[in-house]
Amino acid sequence: MENIILIGHGSPKKDANNIDIVGRLLHNVIHSDCSKGCVRAAYLQFGEPDIPEGIKQCVQDGAKRIIIHPYFLSSGMHVTKDIPEMIKDAKDKYPEVEFIYTEPLGIHDKLIQIVAERIYAANGLKPEAIEERSFEIISEETDLKGFPPEQVPIIQRVIHATADFEFKKTLLFHPQAISAGFEAIKAGKDILTDVEMVKTGIIKRWLKPWGGKVICNINDDDVIRLSEETGRTRAEIAMEKALSGSHNIGIIAIGNAPTALLKVIDIFTRHSSLVTRHFPLVIGVPVGFVKALESKSSLSAQKFPFITNLSRKGGTPVAVAIVNALLKMLKGGDIKSEK
């Protein structure tokens, strides 16, 4: 069993002794499948536990290997003398335990980025400048060079909306997805959403010049009544209503309801007469544990244009980000330098 101890200096100001938070974040990164508290914090002075007690707790919990990281910026006396002496005492006391002592934080390019971010924040950046810097950080932290250029702004905006780089790996595009979305917007087609939150998030001023509008029927009285009578979800009934009553839908954005996505797939595969000859672009990214991944897997096998992600993740922010990325790309300009 391996434990990690982050060593902080400690402060008489008790709420400053908070590197246990860093420990939890580190635990999530390197031991993501572990439910045990194997990353701990200890303090040189003022804070609890102190270093000997922190080591003792690890040993009592069965640790056979203890990695000790001095959470210090430089190799001063504490790092080069005080802490190593405590580790030497621990080795004598616990000879059956392996101890590993790491370098401190030191000089690292990521620390330079953090300092730069603090400077930007202190200068009171405007919202658009903060977003621009956010896209710069995304570009710095992930390589999207291997992706088709037209997909990159969409992937970036989804990552920006979720702070989740996993979408780089899970987003899936039908070959005609982006061109279908562009054609629909330029033709003044409407955007159908599964829930009001997706409708609210779409930037209407970017859509307005093209003549389309955003539609959501989930709160219509007849939809609510039919759901109560049949036991079917309002989301699927709303989709059915919209697609049977309108021939001006060019994009369908589903971020919440798997049943809505499954209903759209059912309509498009079995009742194609209910829609126009050119299928709308289906953005299907519902989030959840029940039917979410199944519905997206089904969408990924379809021949009509789609954008989806093959994981349980998704949701309103993802659906909104994809639609707004398409609108922004048509609006013009580099998505990373939006003004």
- Active site members: 160
Facing residues of 172 across strands? 308
d(CA 200, CA 194): 11
d(CA 236, CA 281): 17
Residue 266's H or E segment, with its range, is helix 258-270
Tell me how far apart the alpha carbons of residues 187 and 98 are, in angstroms, rounded to a whole number: 68
- Helix (H) or strand (E) holding 259, with range, is helix 258-270
CB 275 within 8 A of CB 243: yes
Rounded Cα distance between 280 and 170, Å, is 22
Residue 237: which of 245, 227, 250, 247 has the closest Cα? 227
- What is the distance between the alpha carbons of residues 189 and 183, in angstroms, rounded to a whole number? 9
| Ranges of H-type helices in 18-166 | 19-30, 51-60, 77, 83-93, 109-122, 127-141, 152-162
Question: Are 311 and 166 spatial neighbours (Cβ–Cβ below 8 Å)?
Answer: yes
Compute the distance between CA of residue 186 and CA of residue 171 in angstroms, rounded to an integer. Answer: 24
Q: How many CB atoms are closer than 10 A to CB 6?
A: 21
